[in-house]
Every structure is written in structure tokens, then in C-alpha cells.
Amino acid sequence: MDKEKETLSVTQKYTIRYIINGCLWLLYSISNLVPFKPIRIIGAVLLFVSAICSFYTLLVRQESDDEMSIQHIWAAKSMSLEILLCSMMTVGIISGFISFPFYKAYGFFVAASQILPGLLFLKYEKEGC
């Protein structure tokens, strides 16, 4: 039998690349807060799955981006960058008054930098910019 390779749609590609990876980073960040060694191993496995998802979206055959999807992903990325910068400034201001280890929060920012563009892209694809 001659099986034809499935092609990822633009929406599927960005969902896997951003939303699923972001959720895996979020779960890793939560597991990183727990000092229990087996939980940290699970977190490392989650990051490994995230890497596999990233490579999958790079290597599998996919639809080419059309003009509107390119515009939507760029709009989503620029909006999420603004949100993240405002969030980091807020955390910086708060850290001036409350001491906390920032290294435990970096994963949450990475997760947000993945989830926000993915969700905004889906919104823009559905409703337009």
C-alpha cells in the first residue's frame, strides 16, 4: 500500500509548536518548584517531550504559510512580547520589595512566551487582527 504522508496544517503546526510546548514548559516549571527528586525527573521528561514536539514541527511535511497566517503569527508574537515585557517589569518592581529566587520563575516566562503567541495566533486566525 502506498501511504501518503499527512501534512500539518498551519493551525496544527502553531498549536504544537507554541501551545503544547508552552504547556509542557509550564508543567516543567511547576515541577521545578518541588524539591522532590522524582518530580524533577518528570519535569526533565516533559522538556524532552517538548523538544520532540519542536523537532516534529520542523521535520514533518506541512502546509506553507499564507500571507494572512504570516501576518497573524507576527501580530501574535509582537503582542505577546509586549505582555511579557510588562510582566517582567512588574516582577522586577516587586522583587525590589520581596526577595525571591528568580531562577525558579524563568520557566514560567518561557511557558508564557510559548503559550501567548499560540493562543493569540488562534484568536487572530478565527477573528482576524
Q: Looking at the DSSP assignment, which residues form a beta bridge with residue 62?
A: 8
Q: Is 80 exposed, middle or buried (0-12, 13-18, 19+ CB in 10 A)?
A: buried
The answer to the question of residue 104 being in a domain is: yes
Q: What is the pLDDT of residue 129?
A: 67
pLDDT in tens, 28-45: 999 988 888 899 899 999
Residue type, 18: Y
Q: What is the pLDDT of residue 53?
A: 92
Q: What is the pLDDT of residue 120?
A: 94
Q: What is the pLDDT of residue 27?
A: 94
Map the chain to HEC letters. Answer: CCCCCCCECHHHHHHHHHHHHHHHHHHHHHHHHCCCHHHHHHHHHHHHHHHHHHHHHHHCCECCCCHHHHHHHHHHHHHHHHHHHHHHHHHHHHHCCCCCCHHHCHHHHHHHHHHHHHHHHHHHHHHCC
The answer to the question of residue 67 being in a domain is: yes
Q: What is the pLDDT of residue 3?
A: 53
pLDDT in tens, 54-74: 999 999 888 888 889 899 999
The answer to the question of residue 2 being in a domain is: no
The answer to the question of residue 96 being in a domain is: yes
Residue type, 9: S
Q: What is the pLDDT of residue 1?
A: 43
Tally of domains within the chain: 1
The answer to the question of residue 24 being in a domain is: yes
Q: How far apart are CA 114 and CA 83, in angstroms?
A: 12
Residue 114's domain spans which residues?
Answer: 10-127
pLDDT in tens, 6-22: 788 889 999 999 999 99
pLDDT in tens, 78-100: 999 999 999 988 888 888 888 87
Confidence (pTM): 0.85
